[in-house]
Amino acid sequence: MIVEVRAYRIKPGRRAEFIDFFETRAVPALRSYGMQVLGPLLDVENPNKFVFLRSFPSLDEREGMKNEFYEGALWKNELESIAMPMIDSYDVILCETSKGYVSDGF
């Protein structure tokens, strides 16, 4: 399995607004393209940061799912214009599970 660890720095004072958008709009949209999502995970030391995990069965499927999502009408015509003005920056760590990977629900 391929897992992205995504850390977002939200513009000051907008984290609650972004979390609402993320939970109600972004997560359902991502899941509709086959991505699994864990989060949001709120940074307890930084009120302008949050993390979430997004997983894919393989690198090839990741590429296809991401392309379909980000090239699709919902992202381009609606979600992008809502999300991007709230985001200051983000980092992505791309991980692959080991043979001994254990999951308790993700």
Q: Are 63 and 2 in contact (CB under 8 A)?
A: no
How many CB atoms sit inside 10 A of residue 28's CB? 10
Beta strands (DSSP E) in 1-106 are 2-10, 36-42, 49-56, 87-96
The pLDDT of residue 52:
96
Residue 61 tokens, joined: 């499927």
Q: Are 86 and 10 in contact (CB under 8 A)?
A: yes
The pLDDT of residue 103:
75
Three-state DSSP state, 3: strand
The pLDDT of residue 18:
96
Note the pLDDT tens digit of each residue in 21-35: 999 999 999 999 999
Does the predicted TM-score (pTM) go above 0.85?
A: yes
Q: What are phi and psi of 93, to 5 degrees?
A: -110, 120
Residue ranges in the chain modelled with pLDDT below 70: 105-106
